Amino acid sequence: MDCTAKPDARFPRDLLEWAGHHSGGVKRLFDPASGRPARELLRTHLISRLESWVEEITSGTHGAPRILLLVGGPGNGKTEAIEHTINCLDKDLAAGGKLVEELSIRFHPPPGQPVARVVDVDAGGLASIPRPMRLSIVQDASATAGHEGQGAPALLVQELSALLEGPSEQYYLCCVNRGVLDDALIHALDHGLGEACRLLETVTRSVSLSSTALSCWPLDGFPEVAAWPMDAESLLVSPEDGLPSPAQALLAYATAPAYWLEPGECPASDACPFCHSQALLVREEPRAALIRILRWYELASGKRWSFRDLFSLVSYLLAGNPPAGQGQQGDPCQRAAHLLELDKAGERASKPRRQQLTAAFYLAASRYQHALFHRWNPEAAGILQQGIKDLGLDKGTSEARALFGLQYFLQERKGSYLPAAIAPLLESLVDLLDPAMASPDLEIEVSGRSKVLLGELDTRFSRSIAGGIDFVRRYQVLARTELDLLRRLAGADDLLSSPAIRRRNPAAASRMQRVLRDFACRLVRRSVCTRSAVVSDIQVLEAFQQVVEEDDRGQRLFEVAKQVRSLLNPGQDFEVSLTTTFGQPLPPKQRQAILVVPVQPVRARHLPTNGRPRSPIRFLEVGKGHSLQPIALTYDLFKAVKELERGLSQASLPRTVVALLDTTKARLSGPIVRDPDLLPDARIRIGMDGTEVGTSWDGSFVSVAAEGQA
């Protein structure tokens, strides 16, 4: 559905409203000013399904579901999906807008009156050719308006029970979060509501991400019901061939030159970090690189960017996160111009203020690369503060002012400076993908014809900031404000190298130089690498993405399964401790009793895709027969497998991987010790000398010494 932008849309100013805590990030039904900042529908796989469903019910197709449950947390697009469905229904019924108008009135009651929990409308009566079709909409299943005194879970159970026995002309659309769904299942269990309990159990299983998830559209065993997990599909992946992903469409709109200031109009000129970010991201390559980074974060963390998260992220990257109460500085370009004025005033002042000393750092750090990878060395501020004191520096020279400015900037970054809605995601993203931690053996493209090794960049900056600037400047990959800041840091670096300063306290000067050079190298790495999606562990991330998204035949998953089998089966056997339970430490070796059984196989597990979204998680199968267990192929496990291939010792595996393997072994052990088909080939190893107890040819038990003598 194509829509035009607001005539007065002006970026980056209007991008501030995209943040999740503003009106642009929260969708309200039939309110065109809310929740759709790009002014157009962002298509997903669910949108296509809903359009097909509307065609089915309006054309009288037999077997179309009557009950739709859209399951997920806030910000996942449930309300947008409901509104689009109503618009399509109005069109296919040829209602001439009467259905939309009727529902708009119902969802916008007079001031002081809440929206009813269930909004009912005779949709068929509003069609150009009247027909029997009643529609009930629950925009938020946690609401109880009109049913005060009853809990939301109980109301959901009542509604579903009545619908299962209701007429075939009754249709029901409901947005429900997982918490209400779980509480409704508990309510049905507590009250012995058999059919409702079976339905809710099936819905809960179908919208899960487990290896045994059932068909959800239509619901397994309930052809009249369809459910859809809103948080299963990535908004960074194309829903259909030839269509951009929702994130691509959103970012393309946010950087479209038609909505940005013309060159020369920005009051901060070419020093504006927001206009500079737009100038980069309007190009296909940097924009695609940013999408790849966000997608890799999903794969590495197991989390998903919701619509609200993406709106807030785009707002933060292209318009910043202004502190509350800034007044006229709330406009991003005006804020950048104010920082520029502060910086110039600080150069002229004999005793510059703190804000004047940090202005240049904030101008550089507001570019999207540094806003995304925002964290600096937390110990650096203390080192600088103590070093300035030890060396007896003051603000009388421009070189010393750069040291004071960096110290103040790093101190202020210890406070709250990220948008609250996405702060946990941004913190986790730096931990997983920071380009400052990328391998020095990686090669990055700095121009259309030139590439450099990150290690070479590190070497230049580790010797001197001036040498690093000379090396990188010729490629013209840094913004003017970034180069200006680096030159100031280079002056401070030279100051700390001067004999007059070093003789005061050589150790303090060396510590401060390391901080300066590390900061400068991180700044350049992040600025350049983010444009090319060169991040920490990029090779592992690319390989994992291929397994999750492109490995339809299962070849790559097969290779991973072989490595996991070697992790679970030390040597040529599978071992089960008989003297401990899961989570307990092993007893001394002389008191250990280990059941040794043949190798447990590990195979790829292929999940069904009919009637449900493609699983964002790949699974393996461990064991066989009664002991068969699924194991999720997490990023941590996959990364451990790749590192083992490169020579990592198993003793150095991350704790998360060790815990996953131990849990899998424990789940296998219970069925194994009770499996009569495995026990004839099993043996028990006891004590320190390796004595083993096994079965003889006549079924009797035989003790065998470690050296093989009976």
pLDDT at 24 over 70: no
pLDDT of residue 649: 83
Residues 6+ apart with CB under 8 A from 673: 576, 578, 595, 679
Mean pLDDT of the 662-691 span:
82
User: CA 229, CA 612: separation in Å to the nearest integer?
Assistant: 9
pLDDT at 123: 95
- Write the pLDDT tens digit of every residue in 120-149: 999 999 999 999 999 999 999 999 998 888
- Per-residue pLDDT of 326-358, as tens digits, reads 444 479 999 999 999 999 999 999 999 999 999
Q: 168-172, 213-217, 686-690: which range is least confident on average? A: 686-690
Locate all alpha helices (DSSP H) within 244-353, ordered by sequence: 246-254, 273-281, 284-301, 307-319, 332-348
Q: For residues 74 and 142, what is the distance between their CA atoms, to the nearest angstrom?
A: 12
Does the CA dihedral 314-298-48-96 come out positive or negative? negative
Q: Is the peptide bond before 12 cis (omega within 30 degrees of 0)?
A: yes
> Over the chain, what is the mean pLDDT?
89
550 — pLDDT class (breaks 50, 70, 90) = confident
With 90 as the cut, is the pLDDT of residue 626 above it?
Answer: no
- Write down the pTM of the prediction: 0.92
CA 302 – CA 282 distance, rounded (Å): 29
Range of 75-84, 288-297, 468-477, 658-667 with top mean pLDDT: 288-297
Q: What is the pLDDT of residue 595?
A: 85
SS3 helix, strand, coil % of the chain, rounded to 5? 50, 10, 40
> According to the model, what pLDDT value does residue 327 have?
41
Instruction: Fill in the DSSP letter of residue 668.
Output: H
* Mean pLDDT, residues 209-223: 92
Q: From residue 505, give the alpha-carbon distance in Å to each of 242, 321, 515.
A: 63, 40, 16
**Which of the four pLDDT bands, split at 50, 70 and 90, describes residue 699?**
low
